[in-house]
Chain A
C-alpha cells in the first residue's frame, strides 16, 4: 500500500508542477514569434507544401540488418548460462544457429545490402 501511495504522490506532484509552470509561462510569458518568423529558413523562399510528407528512409535496410544481427547477441547471454551446465551440446546448438545466421549475412552481402546507397 505504501508503494502505491508513493507513486501517487510523485505523479500528482508532477502534474501539479507541470500545470503551475505551464500556467505561469502562459500568463506572464510574451509570445515573441509572429507567424512570419517561424517559417523555415530557405534564404528568402517560402515553402509551398505542407511539412507533412513521407520521407524516404534510405538507411532502412541497413538498420533492419543491424537489428537482426544485434538480436542474436541477445540470445547469447542466456545461452552462456546454459552452456556452463550443458557443455558441448549447447555449443553445437549455438554453432548451428550462427551458421544459419551467417548464411543470411552471406545472402545479404551478395544482394549488396551492405553497400551504402
Chain B
C-alpha cells in the first residue's frame, strides 16, 4: 500500500531523460530543455530514460548503447525519430510531441520495475581477474600486466613539473554533455592535467545549421529570415555554454529568447548580455586562442573584425559594422555571441522585406559558409589542452561552438572504433 503510493508519487515527478543525439537532433534536444514534465539530466547516472533523438549516425550506435547501459535500473529506452540504436522500447515519431509518451513510459517503468530494459553489453566482466605477481595485478612489480583485461597505465613525463607518473588514457564522448555532437576526445591525463589530446570528429551526413544558410549560397532569401536564424543559432550556442556550466535557469531564459528573437528585440537580448556576463565571470581568462585560426564570432571575439557581411551589397545601407571583443577568451566569446544576436535582430528589423541575392560569400553563424571551423582549430585546441586541467579544456570547447564536423572533416572518427565496445574483451585477446 505504502510502496504503491510512493511509486505513484514518484511517477508524477518529472522524467529524468538523457538525450543521445547527433547534429540532426540537436535542435530537438534543446527544445526538450524547455518542455515541462521532462528533466534533461547531465549524466546517464541521473537518468531513467535513454532517449535517442534521431536520425543518429550508424557509427554512433555502439557508443549510444554503452551510455544506455550506464543508466541504473530500472531504465527505459526510447527513440524519437528514425534511425535509433535500438529497435525495441518506446518509439515516438520525429515530428510528434515526445512528452506524453515519455511520461507514460516512466510511469509504467515505476509501476513494474521488472520491465526494465536489459543491457546491451556483457552482464559479467568478460575477462577474469588474473592474480599473478607481487600485488596480484598480473605483471611484474607495480607495472605491467592486465588485471581484468585492462593494462595498467604506464609512466610518462609530466607536462608541468616533470614528475614521471602514470598517464591515464581516456576516450571521452561522443555523448558527453558539452561536447559538440559527433566529437570524441582521446585524452591522456597526467594527474589532474592533460598530457595529450587528440580530437576525433565523426563525419555526419546531417548538419545542425538552419537550412537557410545553405540556401542563401545558391538562391535569394529574405534578409530578415537569415538574420533571425543567425540570432537563434547564436543564442542557442550561448545557452549550451550556460547550461553546461550549471547555469540552467539562465540558459533556459536564452533558449526562450531564441524561440522568437524578433519578438524579444535587440534591447532584451543586450540586457541578457549584461546578466550573463556578470554570472559567467568564471570563464574570464580561460581558453585564450589565437584569433588567426578561428572563424566567425570566435575570431571577432579575439579582436579581428572579419565578417563577410561587410562585403555584401545587401547590407550596404543598413549601417552594419562588425563588433569585436579584445580579450579572446571564453567570456569574450560568450559576450560576442549575445552581442551579435542583438545585432542580427536589429538588422532583421531594419531589413524589412529585402532579399539577399546569392553571389557574395554568406556569413554563417560560425563564419563564412560553407561552414567550417577552419583547418587550424583542431591543432590549436590540441596544443592548448596540454598542461591544462580538464575543466579549462571543456569550457574552451563549449565556448567555441564547434561545427559538428559535417563535411569539413578530414580524419575519421576514431581508430578505436572496434575495441571501444568492449575494451576488456578486446584487450584480452
| Interface secondary structure of B, over-half rule | loop
Taking the nearest CB of chain B, how far is it from the CB of A3, in angstroms? 41
Q: Is B396 an interface residue (CB 8 A)?
A: no
Interface contact B119-A42, CB-CB below 8 Å:
no
Contacts of B63 in A (CB 8 A): 43-45
The CA-CA distance from A41 to B45 in the complex, in Å, is 8
Query: Across the two chains, which residue of chain B brings its CB closest to A44?
Result: B63
Asked if A42 contacts B176 (CB within 8 A), the reply is yes
Residues in B with CB closer than 8 Å to A42 are: 170-173, 176
**Which residues on the B side are within 8 Å of A54 (C-beta)?**
165-166
B121 touches A34 (CB 8 A): yes
Of B151-159, B266-274, B298-306, B403-411, the stretch lying at the interface with chain A is B151-159
B44:A41 contact, CB within 8 angstroms: yes
User: Any chain A CB within 8 A of the CB of B217?
Assistant: no
| CB–CB B165/A44 < 8 A | no
- Stretch from A13-21, A55-63, A65-73 that touches the partner: A55-63
Residue of B nearest to A55 (CB): B191
Give min CB distance, B372 to chain A, whole Å. 24
Bound: A57/B107 CA distance, A: 46
**CB <8 Å contact, B169 and A36:** no
Min CB distance A58 to B, Å, is 6
Q: What does the 1/0 interface line of A42-55 toward B look like (CB < 8 Å)?
A: 11111111101111
Instruction: Tell me if B21 is interfacial: C-beta within 8 Å of chain A.
Output: no
Checking A34, A41, A52, A117 against B124 with a beta-carbon cut-off of 8 angstroms, the contacting residue is: A34
Nearest Cβ on chain A to B71's Cβ, whole angstroms: 8
Chain B residues within an 8 Å CB radius of A35: 121-126
- Give chain A interface residues in 30-44, CB to chain B under 8 Å: 32-37, 39, 41-44
B168 near A49: Cβ-Cβ < 8 Å: yes
In the assembled complex, the Cα of A20 lies from the Cα of B257 at a distance in Å of 59
The winner among A37, A48, A58 for most chain B CB atoms within 10 A is A48
Interface size class of A (residues with CB under 8 A): 20 to 34
Contact status B427-A48, CB under 8 Å: yes
**Contact residues, B13-67 vs A (CB, 8 A):** 43-45, 60, 62-64, 66-67
Q: How far is the CB of B213 from chain A (nearest CB, A)?
A: 28
| Chain B residue, CB-CB nearest to A43 | B176
Q: Would you call the interface of chain A mostly helix, strand, loop, or mixed?
A: loop
Contacts of B148 in A (CB 8 A): 50
Cβ contact within 8 Å between A47 and B152: no
Is B175 a contact partner of A49 (Cβ separation < 8 A)? Answer: no
Which residues of A60-100 are within 8 A (CB) of B?
none
In contact, B66 and A44 (Cβ under 8 angstroms): yes
- Whether B170 lies near A43 (C-beta < 8 A) is no
CB contacts (< 8 Å) of B150 on chain A: these are: 47-50
By a CB distance below 8 angstroms, the chain A residues around B177 are 43
Residue of A nearest to B75 (CB): A37
Q: Which residues of A contact B123 (CB under 8 A)?
A: 34-36
Q: Do B124 and A39 touch (CB < 8 A)? A: no
Query: Within B67-106, which residues are at the interface with A (CB < 8 Å)?
Result: 67, 69-73
For A46, list chain B residues within 8 Å (CB).
66, 171, 420-424
* Neighbouring B residues of A43 by C-beta, 8 Å: 63, 67, 172-177, 179
**CB of B320 within 8 A of chain A?**
no
Q: Are A56 and B152 in contact (CB under 8 A)?
A: no
Chain B residue at minimal CB-CB distance from A32: B73
Map CB proximity to A onto B394-429 as digits: 1 under 8 Å, 0 otherwise: 000000000000000000000010011111100100
- Alpha-carbon gap, A43 to B70, bound state (A): 10
A58 with B191, Cβ < 8 A, contacts A43-B177, A43-B179 known: yes
> Can you list 20 A-B contacts with CB-CB less than 8 angstroms, sorted by A residue number?
A34-B119, A35-B121, A36-B69, A37-B71, A42-B172, A43-B175, A44-B174, A44-B420, A45-B172, A46-B66, A47-B170, A47-B423, A48-B419, A48-B423, A49-B169, A50-B137, A56-B191, A56-B192, A58-B160, A58-B161
Q: A39-B66, A43-B172, A52-B137 are in contact. List 7 more A-B contacts (CB 8 A).
A: A34-B121, A37-B69, A37-B71, A39-B70, A42-B176, A49-B169, A53-B152
